[in-house]
Structure 1
Amino acid sequence: MKVAVEGCCHGALDAIYKQIRTLENKNNYKVDLLLICGDFQAIRNHRDLQCMAVPQKYRQLGDFHKYYTGESTAPVLTIVIGGNHEASNYFWELYHGGWLAPNIYFLGHAGCVQVNGLRIAGASGIFKDNHFHLGHHERMPYDNGSMRSIYHIREYNIRRLSLLSQPDIFLSHDWPQSIERYGDVQGLLRRKPFFRHDINTGNLGSPPLMGLLQTLRPNWWFSAHLHVRFEATVQHGRADQVLEEQSIPPAVPTNPDEIAILDDESDGTPIPPPEGPLPHGVPPEQTPDVPQNPDEIILDDEEQNVAPPPRPETPPSKTTFVALDKCLPRRDFLEIVDIPISSDASPPATPKGNARPILTYDPEWLAITRAFHPYFSDTRHQATYPDEATARARVSEEITWVEENIVSQVPEDNKSPLSVEERQTFVRTAPGPGSEGSAKFHQPPWYTNPQTVAFCDMLGIENKINPPPGAGN
């Protein structure tokens, strides 16, 4: 399967699809699937813009609304995750995943699906220690704080993802913490010298994502966020890779490419000097007051306590990590990779002879969703989680439920009972642009999304995301 992977979208869907067409015509192949690693900006109208945490000058409609209203059609099945510059109100509507527009699927705040049997898992948002252990307490209309905290990843979702068996692909917006140790650090710093301080202090990337990488060991891991192409290889099942000592060029003051949102990047508290040894191959920082990279979040000592959950021993394997840039001319924002799939998972050919990729739910993820639903919190307080053994036992029980109540069903049309299209159908919940009137610069109302209702009904769980009026909330 030919899979196109894109870094930060920033609403530039037309340019991304155009680049795919250019590559297809130049190389005489057909791209089967597009994956987008965040900052997608699913903005339906001007009111959605008021829910996006960026300075006013960056609040632009972009291209997505054309695909939402049907003016344009996505030419390839597209799966996206969220970043830190999103219209978070629409992503919240589809917390469990769903169609943002025809042929464009949001993986959810966390999720796992299959395309022709290829398992694709992912996590939306970025890491911020202040909010990691909280519940999903944000409510519309968002204030300045909740407009940012809503896209900060929660422990709830990291724990759910850690229960998956090995996926083929994992998508994240953040980089896993210290992933640069497994690639060309010198080359990275030649292009992005303002990363120096974060690398020296071990603060480049997300600690829980590195825990997931070490636990899940996917074949591929794709990220964005830092607006640079970077490749690394993590070898599993062997001693830590020993990297050569590398001299680090001097830092420069700021990242010229990034959208700076100061109150998202710092709480105003001084950063203590790092304790313990620095990552191998990186010399100590001589000037600890180097300006922060505005593209990255600040971590503190507590974040180092986020340890990966225990996992059974598995044979040696490797994860190929690729981070990509944002969609701009002469940037490395798109990568085409060939990923083999089982012939048993290939979809039937269409009348024209072209195989159309089939998106299906992942049974294991459905079981995890059911097993962990009792721990979902819609307040700041997060209930205590079960221990690892108990959690896995509950997932095993729920796998039986999924097998009996979903997988074993035989649809009349002979399609897979796990087909996403059979369970969730795209429905416009908000109007397109041009209908906002005098409310153009006000946040929109919240909507009950029928796709979330359908997903919860399928699993027999309560819709805690956006229940219809009078449904108990």
Structure 2
Amino acid sequence: MHIAIEGCSHGELDTIYNSVLRLEQIHGFKVDLLLCCGDFQSVRNEQDLKCMACPVKYMDMRDFYKYYSGEKKAPMLTIFIGGNHEASNYLQEFPYGGWVAPNIYYLGYAGVVRFGGLRIGGLSGIYKGPDYLKGHYEKPPYTGESVRSVYHVRNLEVFRLKQLSGESDIFMSHDWPRGIYHHGDKEKLLKWKQHFRSEVKNNTLGSRPAEELLKKIRPKYWFSGHLHVKFPAVLRHKDENTHKAKVTKFLALDKCLPRRDFLQVIEVQNAGPLELSYDAEWLTILRLTNHLLSVGTRTVYMPGPGGSERYQFTPTKEEIDDTIQMMGCNLKVPLDFVPTAQSYESSQGKPKMEQVHMPDPLLNPQTIVAPKGVRGEPHMCWHYSQAPCARRAETLLNPGRYPSSFQRDEAPLGAPKAPLPALTHCETNVMSLTRSERRHSSTVSDIRQAAQSRGSLCRTGLNPPVLPRPTPTHGKVQAETHHTLGKCP
């Protein structure tokens, strides 16, 4: 199986796909998967463009809208993470991942999936200390501050990724793990990027959370973008228990420009069908940590030793089996892309960004609709990218009432259960009610009525619901690689 890795896309999908197809023709192989390490710029229209954190003079529609509208289709499965130049309003429709266009899959704030027997994970955004301990409070229309903080990494996603066990094959981050430059040709890097010298000397270049994840997850490959330079490194991990050495091959790539090293192809032995599926352990982790989700600006600490609550969420086999049952024993990612906004019309000419306003928040059907198929109980089937917003609301009203499996008490046990109506970004609304109102509001419709009676209309929302977590089917993957460099023609 051949996998192409691209650094920073910056919306240049036509150039990237054409470069991959050219490599296929030259070398006679077929690329099965394309991985993009951030700054993907999934811009559908002028309003999406307005939500990108960059000066107006750099706002350009680029190519994604053609793939979103169906004018073109990605020639191979494409998986990407978010960076610091994104249409954040659109990506916030997929906090746990989803199809942004046919054959183009976003991993969410953080995500783990499987393809061809490989376990592929990723962390979106970049690290900024002041926002690391906050919740996902941002929503469009953004302010001058939130249009940037929306893509900053949060401790919740890092905490969840640290719960993973077993082997990981590939991991992606936008910014580099801090300290990785000590494991490659540092002097050559500083010759190309002399302004990195002080940060390298002080060991502040890169992301501290990504460094922690690198040492915890120890994937076979780690790919990054962000710094717009190609840089390979090899990190050897020591296992204190077995005294065996594990190796992570790190590669950072440039952005998509002529004569720049923005594309790499590796060959890996696959151990499964070439189809995208959810990782059962990751789904289980999401499900077990639902209560840790915050959508506020206050400092939020993750649980740790010394407290009375659970702080280790690496799932047991039983918890993973529960998740698989909730999914109807089917972890294949459904092809359920649905457009949620009008696509840009190139005939309109270059958009006048000064006259464009940011959009209101939207919920994506992939995030709020539970798929059918489990014993006739749609809401019992947990979809990785389709989180139960309504369950989040009921958890707010009755903390601790709904542990790992979710059951409504309006119908007697064994009776058919109707799916809960989707509730959006409702934490603020629910918490604005009085204690008495919260106690007597046991259903989503009650919440809406109570909130509206107080004048607190529920906002169509952004923030992700929490999903079930799964356990991995660890296929042993022996990865032998050869690198084929592709430059922009």
Distance 1:438 1:220 in 2: 40
Question: Which residue in 2 is equivalent to 1:366?
Answer: 283
2:266 aligns to what?
Answer: 337
Change (3 A) 1:238 1:404: closer
Which residue, 298, 315, 322 being the options, matches 1:401? 322
Secondary structure of residue in 2 paired with 1:332: coil
| 1:136-285 matches, cutoff 5 A | 136-165=136-165, 166-237=167-238
Q: Deviations over 1:58-112 (max 9, x none)?
A: 1111100000000010000000000001110111001100001000000011000
Residue 376 (structure 1) aligned with residue 293 (structure 2)? yes
SS in 2 for 1:68: helix
Measure the CA separation in 2 of the matches of 1:469 and 1:30.
43
The answer to whether the Cα contact below 8 Å between 2:43 and 2:64 also exists between their aligned partners in 1 is yes
**Is the CA contact (8 Å cut-off) linking 2:235 and 2:248 kept in structure 1?**
yes
Of 366, 369, 373, the match for 1:454: 369
Greater Cα offset, 395-404 or 382-391: 382-391
Deviations 1:344-398, CA, capped at 9 Å, x for gaps: x1x3xxxxxxxxx300000001001101111000111254423379343573263
Alpha-carbon contact 1:31-1:76 (below 8 Å) kept:
yes
Q: Alpha-carbon deviation of 1:57?
A: 1.0
Equivalents in 1 of 2:300, 2:353: separation in Å? 42
> Matched residue of 1:119: which SS?
strand
Partner of 2:102: 102
Cα pair 1:164 1:365 within 8 Å, conserved: yes
The 5 A counterparts of 1:430-449 are 430-434=341-345, 441-449=356-364
- Three-state SS of the structure 1 residue aligned to 2:265 is strand
CA distance in 2 between partners of 1:12 and 1:404 (Å): 41
Distance 2:245 2:116 in 1: 26
Residue ranges of structure 2 left out of the alignment (5+ in a row) = 372-378, 394-421, 427-443, 449-457, 459-489
Looking at structure 1, the residues matched to 365 and 315 of structure 2 have their Cα atoms a distance apart, in angstroms, of 26
Residue type of the partner of 1:430? A
SS of residue paired to 2:310: helix
- Measure the CA separation in 2 of the matches of 1:143 and 1:78: 31
Kindly indicate whether the alpha-carbon contact (under 8 Å) linking 1:218 and 1:319 is maintained by their aligned counterparts in 2. yes
For 2:276 and 2:353, how far apart are their aligned partners in 1? 40
Aligned ranges for residues 409-420 of structure 1 at < 5 Å?
Answer: 409=329, 417-420=330-333
Are 1:368 and 1:398, in contact at CA under 8 Å, matched by a contact in 2? no
TM-score (norm 2): 0.73
In structure 2, the partner of 1:322 is 251
- State the secondary structure of the residue aligned to 1:390: coil
Can you list the C-alpha shifts for 1:242-276, whole angstroms capped at 9, x where unaligned? xxxxxxxxxxxxxxxxxxxxxxxxxxxxxxxxxxx
Aligned-partner residue type, residue 420 of structure 1: V
Distance 1:148 1:313 in 2: 43
| CA distance, structure 2, for counterparts of residue 364 and residue 81 of structure 1 | 20
Q: Deviations over 1:3-50 (max 9, x none)?
A: 000000000000000000100000011000000000000000011111
Which AA in structure 1 matches 2:292?
Y
Q: What do residues 395-438 of structure 1 show as CA deviations (whole Å, max 9, x unaligned)?
A: 326313213322x53xxxxxxx11112xx500000110149999
**How does 1:111-150 map onto structure 2 within 5 Å?**
111-150=111-150
Residue type at the aligned position of 2:151: Y
- Distance in 1, matches of 2:48 and 2:354, equals 11
| 1:183/1:90 CA distance change after superposition, 3 Å | same
Deviation of residue 340 (structure 1)?
1.5
What code does the residue aligned with 1:402 have? Answer: T
Distance 1:384 1:77, change over 3 A: same
Q: Which residue of 1 aligns with 2:486?
A: none
SS at match of 1:392: coil
Give the drift of 1:440: 5.6
Aligned-pair distance for 1:191?
A: 1.0
- Describe the shift of the 1:30–1:125 C-alpha distance in structure 2 as closer, same or farther (beyond 3 A): same
| TM-aligned CA deviation for residue 167 of structure 1 | 1.3
Q: Distance in 2 between matches of 1:428 and 1:39?
A: 21
1:49 aligns with 2:49: yes
Following the alignment from structure 1 to structure 2, what is the Cα–Cα distance between the partners of residues 371 and 62? 40
Q: How does 1:79-90 map to 2 (within 5 A)?
A: 79-90=79-90
1:194 CA drift (Å): 1.1
Q: 2-side partners of 1:178 and 1:59: how far apart?
A: 33
CA distance in 1, matches of 2:70, 2:326: 34
Quick one: which amino acid aligns to residue 322 of structure 2? W
Change (3 A) 1:130 1:332: same
Name the residue aligned to 1:301: none
Cα distance between partner residues in 1 of 2:22 and 2:137: 44
Taking every aligned residue pair, what percent have the same amino acid on both sides?
Answer: 44
Unaligned runs of 5+ in 1: 240-311, 348-356, 410-416
Question: Which whole-Å CA distance do the structure 2 matches of 1:207 and 1:437 have between them?
Answer: 39
1:381 aligns to what SS in structure 2?
Answer: coil
Is the contact made by 2:5 and 2:36 (CA closer than 8 Å) also made in structure 1? yes
Structure 1 counterpart SS, 2:289:
helix
Instruction: Name the amino acid aligned to 2:340.
Output: T
**Normalised TM-score (structure 1):** 0.76
